[in-house]
Amino acid sequence: MRLEGKKALVTGAGSIGMGRATALAFAREGADVAIHYHSRPEVAEELRREIEDAGTGRRACCLGADLSTAAACRDLVDEARERLGGLDILVTAAATIVRKPILDFTDEEWDRLMDLNLRGTFACITQAARHMKNDGTKGRIIVYGSVVQQAAKPLQVGYGVSKAGAAHLARGLAVEVAAHGITVNIIAPGPILTDFNRDTLADPKIAAERAKDIPMGRIGRVEDVVEAALYFASPAAAYTTGVTIFCDGGFVLP
């Protein structure tokens, strides 16, 4: 197992997207996992049971928090470290999106995006890095970005700005903590089929239309992205930091 005995916090794991898939994959590879959720404790609890009933001997706990405030982010990281008995890995998968033309954005919508996607990422990853540095843990910090942090797309400008900011933050932190053996990397998924969008992309016509923009000709699978997270979290990536992996089938290339 690539993550045997490691202790990981995954924000946004108590949802039905990439956070959940990442937490499951980490547990299967031997990690104990703190499952963060915002508003759906029942989804987080279902994931906790799935992890603990899998027979791998891994532990999981559910932690609720609104990550749009920095104080709540720091408290979450502190609690996860305490509950798990340490913190080796942090994955930030919690995010929100507002799909509309940038000229139609309200101040409140802009603030909501930046508070969670940028400020929340800042508070979580810096607090985790402090603990890893002070504990002497050569930890792994993984930030979920998006292809729109690089490729400007209609109706996603605000989201792209928040993700681009988070990616730059991650690269800067990578430089500052590298001497302590802590790595910070970014995963930028393209269109990925998850439980969150399965009802839409299950329609062959919609899926085919979306796939036209992808050189590999298909919508991505959760497994395509999770493997990147497992790599960044594993000993194999000990000398890899400040890197962005675009899991997008070539979406950003044309």
Task: Count CA atoms closer than 13 A to 134's CA, side-chain side.
Answer: 10
Cα separations in angstroms, 124 against 59, 164, 210, 214 = 22, 17, 33, 32
* Structure token digits, residue 206: 């919609």
Selected catalytic residue, list 37, 144, 159, 231 = 159
Is residue 212 exposed (0-12), middle (13-18) or buried (19+ Cβ within 10 Å)? exposed
Q: Does the annotation count 159 as an active-site position? A: yes
Q: Please tell me the distance from the alpha carbon of residue 14 to that of residue 27, in angstroms, as a whole number.
A: 14
In this structure, the dihedral spanned by the alpha carbons of residues 150, 151, 157 and 158, taken in order and rounded to 10 degrees, is -30
User: HEC states along 126-145?
Assistant: HHHHHHHHHHCCCCEEEEEC
Beta strands in the chain (DSSP E): 7-11, 32-37, 60-64, 89-92, 140-144, 183-189, 192-193, 220-221, 244-247
Q: Which of 202, 193, 200 is nearest to 221 (CA)?
A: 193
d(CA 45, CA 35): 9
Q: Which amino acid is at 64?
A: G
Structure tokens at 58: 């891994």
Q: Which residues are catalytic?
A: 159
